[in-house]
Structure 1
Amino acid sequence: MEIAVTGAAGARVARDGGADRVELCSALELGGVTPSESAVAATAAVGLPVQVLVRCRPGDFVHDDEEVALMTAEVRAAVGAGAAGVVVGVLDADGALHAGAMRRLIGAAREAGAAAGRPVEITLHRAIDQAADPVAAAVLAASLGVTRILTSGGAPSAAGGAATLRAIAAAVPGVEVMAGGGVSPDEVAALAATGIGAVHLSAKRPAPARHAGTWVPMGVAATAADADRHFVTSPEVVAAARRAVDALA
């Protein structure tokens, strides 16, 4: 069971609720982008293995050479700051997994791990869900040596992508397939029946607003209510997910 968090506070909630690891990102509201080195170090200090999302911007997953170079540097920095693994993904303009870019990112992670004297895990993130053929993308990722694949089965939610999750799990034996995307604790058993090996939940709830005075929207939020919001990890959802996973044993 993996929980998506945005910092050490969320990682402590995940740890205390029984999570096996966390995925760390910034800007969870935008689907996540690369967190700072300081955030990686602080989150790793909580004690759970930390998988760091490396995504240099929101939006699509077709990245140019400059962006891939930046993410390669971010991979090295994340591992150097204590990440147990990195979460990466690049597509080409035709919607296929970009093998060349993936090799650069995976190679950087392995080199950084070797320099740190420890192995580093590689997760292909939900770029796979925007691929023209998610199963083919999974097979290519497996050939490149990824540890796991995070996917909703190409659907808006993992529950809706169950058939593709089943196909991906069957196509990449030896690679952990992790269902993520709108996963709730009451869906864990049905998702497990597709042959996946793990579940990924954001387990988030809106944090109460804490500003004083007038709020001036900043960014792309449609309303002040949308802008004046961030998410925190819910202890109740983490605990419920742990119970659901344990019930499968």
Structure 2
Amino acid sequence: MKLEIAVVSAEGAGIAAAEGADRIELCSSLELGGITPSQGLMEAAVEQVGGRLEIHPLIRCRPGDFTYSAAELDTMEREIRSLLMQGAHGVVVGALKPGGKVDVPATRRLAECARNIDASAQLTFHRAIDQGSDPIEAVEVLAGLGFTRVLSSGQSGSVGEGLDTLASMARSSGGRLEIMAGGGLRTTDIPAVQNFGIHAVHLSAKQLASPTASGALSLGAWNRTDPAAYYVTDAAVVRAARLACG
């Protein structure tokens, strides 16, 4: 069973590689749902993993919804080109129309941008699908666009709650693309995921880092969260996930 870990640092990338992950989704700002990593982070992650696993950067130029303007799509094309040229094995993208259907022109534009840089680049459609109107229809559309995989919680708050939908998505894909379970996934859920015919899982394996400053002034956190708090990759969680995946 394939194991993907979402990481936000070069150190996290190194931990994922050391603990046996098959690939990483490299991003920034997990607390915002993830946005595109910087070129510097990509360079450092490549050095840390030393070819031990695949690196798939998230391409998401801003937090919020997945309906993008022409200028935002242009920004994400630039991000795709830069990160693939730095050695990414593929990219993680997604765009929706206001009604929740896959935005086919926008998604095709991003996919073609990636494949024009690297014909073998893998394409993952991210959890935008979980805000979509019909995951089965979306699987059909994405298979037709040549996507490699889809990341989903089965349109539920957690993978454990969305297993029936994930299984339906896998059956609908007919092996044309990989359904990867992710979103509120616990390592104890992995055997059940596999029993439902899903052969790839994704988790952040994160823990809250101990703040180094006390009483720090908030520098603009909209939700008044601790300004000194941030997430790091937990090696023990990655190790447990690897064992559960076999």
Rounded Cα–Cα distance in structure 1 between residues aligned with 2:63 and 2:115: 25
Pair 1:219–1:156, CA change in 2 (3 A):
farther
**Structure 1 residue 220 displacement after superposition:** 3.3
**Structure 1 residue 112 displacement after superposition:** 1.0
What one-letter code is carried by the residue in structure 1 that aligns with 2:104?
A
2:37 corresponds to 1:32? no
Rounded Cα–Cα distance in structure 2 between residues aligned with 1:66 and 1:13: 36
Match of 1:203 in 2: 205
What one-letter code is carried by the residue in structure 2 that aligns with 1:243?
L
Rounded Cα–Cα distance in structure 2 between residues aligned with 1:190 and 1:167: 15
What one-letter code is carried by the residue in structure 2 that aligns with 1:234?
D
The superposition leaves residues 153-177 of structure 1 with CA deviations (integer Å, 9 ceiling, x where unpaired) of 1111111111110110011122111
What one-letter code is carried by the residue in structure 2 that aligns with 1:230?
Y
**Structure 1 residue 94 displacement after superposition:** 1.2
What one-letter code is carried by the residue in structure 1 that aligns with 2:41?
A
**Structure 1 residue 216 displacement after superposition:** 1.1
Rounded Cα–Cα distance in structure 1 between residues aligned with 2:105 and 2:223: 38
2:232 corresponds to 1:232? yes
Report the 3-state secondary structure (helix = DSSP H, G, I; strand = E; otherwise coil) of the residue aligned with 2:128. Answer: helix
Structure 2: gaps (5+ residues): none
Match of 1:91 in 2: 96
Work out the percentage of aligned pairs sharing the same amino acid: 44
**Structure 1 residue 182 displacement after superposition:** 1.1
Rounded Cα–Cα distance in structure 2 between residues aligned with 1:99 and 1:111: 18
Rounded Cα–Cα distance in structure 1 between residues aligned with 2:145 and 2:6: 25
The superposition leaves residues 10-32 of structure 1 with CA deviations (integer Å, 9 ceiling, x where unpaired) of 01111111101110000011110
1:75 to 76, 80, 88: 80
Report the 3-state secondary structure (helix = DSSP H, G, I; strand = E; otherwise coil) of the residue aligned with 1:146. Answer: coil
Match of 2:13 in 1: 11
2:108 to 100, 103, 108: 103
2:187 corresponds to 1:185? yes
Match of 1:135 in 2: 136
CA contact (8 A) 1:85 1:120 kept: yes
RMSD of Structure 2 on Structure 1 (CA): 1.2
Report the 3-state secondary structure (helix = DSSP H, G, I; strand = E; otherwise coil) of the residue aligned with 2:137. Answer: helix
- Give the alignment's TM-score, normalised by structure 2: 0.94
CA contact (8 A) 1:52 1:87 kept: yes
What one-letter code is carried by the residue in structure 2 that aligns with 1:86?
V
**Structure 1 residue 224 displacement after superposition:** 4.8
Structure 1: gaps (5+ residues): none
**Structure 1 residue 214 displacement after superposition:** 4.0
2:117 to 107, 112, 132: 112
Match of 1:153 in 2: 154
Match of 2:126 in 1: 125
